[in-house]
A = this chain, B = another copy of it.
Amino acid sequence: MNEKEIGRFYYGKRVLITGGLGFLGSNLAHALVERGSHVTLLDSLLPQFGGNPFNVATIKDRVAIVVDDIRNESILKTLIPEHQFIFHIAGQASHVDSLADPLLDMDINCRGTLLILEAIRHGSPKSQFIYAGTRGQYGKPNKTPVSESDAMNPTDIYGIHKTTGENYLFLYSKLYGIQGISLRVNNTYGPRHQMKHGNYGILNWFIRLAMEGKPIPVFGDGNQLRDYNYVDDVTEAFLLAGMNTKSVAEPFNLGSGHPVTFLDLCKSVVRIVGQGKIDQVPWPKERATIETGDYIANFSKLRDTTGWEPKITLDDGLMRTVTFFEKYRDHYWSP
């Protein structure tokens, strides 16, 4: 699938993105606006979550922005039938927070997803549904690299509920013929990520720490392998997923093909930011219980089905990310 085909496909298409002012959602919005789609962004702008109006500042006149919640059934009933593609990216995304407030996680990640699917089922069954799953569904994998058919061992409520949401999608596809697939998103970093806290998106958080000259805490030996994708590659995976009508009720892994140790990742951050330092500390208890060990994704299914491959190297991605936040820092955190 080349860039021209993607552009032609999305030109003039009506696309709804939930969580559209957040990290993945806003980057996807930019990509779709560039390709001439009619884009609506639904975002609740919950405090402490990733939504930030600045993420779409440069395209705000070319998108419709609806500040509302996926848990509001009536807004879904209004918006969903108007759109051919529903990229469902809104969610509670913190592992740690999901354990502190499991009911909120359920409300957003289960009830929110179910309400969207109900709105599609009853009001817009031809709409295509692309779900942001997560590598957190696998939890602590029995082996790496992890394939889509491998067992789920979620280590937190977030992983349980994202799996429940994916199961809704598979069921609704089978029972009601909804065209839906799930991308099990890998660890992702890049521009437009929230930088207020490190409860999710730890690599972006470490970039902030380094930019502020603060120490980056690495728990334990830091030798666990991680698999990181730059956000533009993830955006392209979402675009290709929306074009893929061969696969229904199917999950697809994302991955980088270049796993790195957590410690090396942090060293790259310090090197590219040009300041900061690494501070190796013992595992805090609440992190140790949900630590998943090595994680490497097998993304051959997505590659073979859609032609997707990650293009941006870690160094290149870090450089772009640091450049972005050096320029727009004030829009992401207060000094």
Tell me the A residues contacting B by CB distance below 8 Å: 99, 102-103, 106, 110-111, 114-115, 118, 154-157, 160-161, 163-164, 167-168, 171, 174-175, 289-290
Contact check, B114 vs A164: say whether CB atoms are below 8 A apart. no
Give chain B residues whose Cβ lies under 8 Å from the Cβ of A156: 171
Q: How far is A320 from B308 in the complex, measured between Cα atoms in Å? A: 62
Q: How far is A115 from B289 in the complex, measured between Cα atoms in Å? A: 21
29 CB < 8 A contacts A-B: A99-B175, A102-B118, A102-B168, A103-B111, A103-B114, A103-B115, A103-B118, A106-B110, A106-B111, A106-B114, A110-B110, A110-B164, A154-B167, A154-B171, A155-B171, A155-B174, A156-B171, A157-B168, A157-B171, A160-B164, A160-B167, A160-B168, A160-B171, A161-B164, A163-B164, A164-B164, A174-B289, A175-B289, A175-B290
Most buried by B among A161, A164, A289, A290: A164
Count of this chain's copies in the oligomeric assembly:
2
Known: A155-B174, A160-B164, A160-B168. 11 other contacts (CB 8 A): A102-B114, A102-B168, A103-B111, A103-B114, A106-B111, A154-B171, A156-B171, A160-B171, A163-B164, A163-B167, A175-B290
Give chain B residues whose Cβ lies under 8 Å from the Cβ of A167: 154, 160, 163
A236 nearest CB across to chain B (Å): 31
Give chain B residues whose Cβ lies under 8 Å from the Cβ of A118: 102-103
Give chain B residues whose Cβ lies under 8 Å from the Cβ of A164: 110, 160-161, 163-164
Which chain B residue shows the least CB distance to A168?
B160
Which chain B residue shows the least CB distance to A286?
B175
Give chain B residues whose Cβ lies under 8 Å from the Cβ of A175: 99, 289-290
Give chain B residues whose Cβ lies under 8 Å from the Cβ of A99: 175
Which chain B residue shows the least CB distance to A290?
B175
A68 nearest CB across to chain B (Å): 18
A174 nearest CB across to chain B (Å): 8
